[in-house]
Amino acid sequence: MIQARKHISQRYTYSSMIESKSFTQPLKILPLILVGLGIVLIAASVFSILNDTSPQKDFSTVPIKVNYSAPELTLTDTQGISHSLTDYRGQVVLINLWATWCIPCTKEMPALQSFYNKYKQHGFVVIAINDGDPRQDVLQFAKDYDLTFPIWLDPTYIATEQAFKTMNLPSSFVINRDGIVQFMWVGGISRDMLDARIAPLITEKP
């Protein structure tokens, strides 16, 4: 019975091939057409990516406008000297909460340093508050990245857990000359974004 069924199947297949012969030729060309279209689409996508000059390519985080009083905070710097946020009243202060193991933190440091270099003579300061790293690790990191702005140590997480109430790194807060937090963001920021959003706060007239 198995052989008989096989014989019938072969006859049916052969008959079907003869009847549909006129339709198989166009079908052979279809895969070639599809492959060609695929190559064209891939090439167009690659060209578009390589020629994209959109400012969104840096994937910088965008500061959020806020309005509340800066928290009271006192910590020591890498030399053991105590500092308070109130000591900086009258300046624009960018608080940056970071850690040496945080990849987005390391990527944004050159932007923060260059921005600080440009505006430090205009009553602006970056205060980088390290979140729990050993002092020697922080000193080595500052040396590796040529950081010259103040760095405070926070071994007990006072800045993140109590003062600014965030668990995200990096997190940044910009305090105006009157001690009011005006901007905040979570994640790495670019120099272009700092120039666009934060520079006007530094240069605005009283």
CATH code for the domain of 97: 3.40.30.10
For residue 44, name the pLDDT band (cuts at 50, 70, 90): very low
Q: In what order do the strands lie in the sheet with 64-69?
A: 64-69, 180-186, 171-175, 92-98, 124-131, 151-154, 74-77, 82-84
| 16 & 45 share domain | yes
Q: What is the pLDDT of residues 15-43, one digit of tens each?
A: 344 344 444 455 456 555 545 544 644 44
Phi, psi dihedrals of residue 155, rounded to the nearest 5°: -65, -20
Task: Evaluate if residue 104 carries a pLDDT over 80.
Answer: yes
| 148 & 184 share domain | yes
Q: What range does the domain containing 84 cover?
A: 61-203
Question: What's the pLDDT score for residue 205?
Answer: 77
Q: How many CA atoms lie within 13 A of 2 on its CB side?
A: 0
Peptide bond into 170 cis (omega under 30): yes
The tally of domains found in the chain comes to 2
| 23 & 94 share domain | no
Stated pTM of the model = 0.72
- Residue 165 has a CB neighbour count (10 Å cut-off) of 10
| 143 & 170 share domain | yes
Q: What's the whole-number average pLDDT of the chain?
A: 82
Question: What's the pLDDT score for residue 18?
Answer: 38
| 80 & 43 share domain | no
| 70 & 26 share domain | no
55 occurs within a structural domain: no
For residue 200, name the pLDDT band (cuts at 50, 70, 90): very high
| 22 & 80 share domain | no
Q: Are 112 and 198 in contact (CB under 8 A)?
A: no
56 occurs within a structural domain: no
Q: Kindly state the tokens that stand for 40.
A: 């064209």
Non-local CB neighbours of 30 within 8 Å, separated by 6+ positions: none
| 111 & 193 share domain | yes
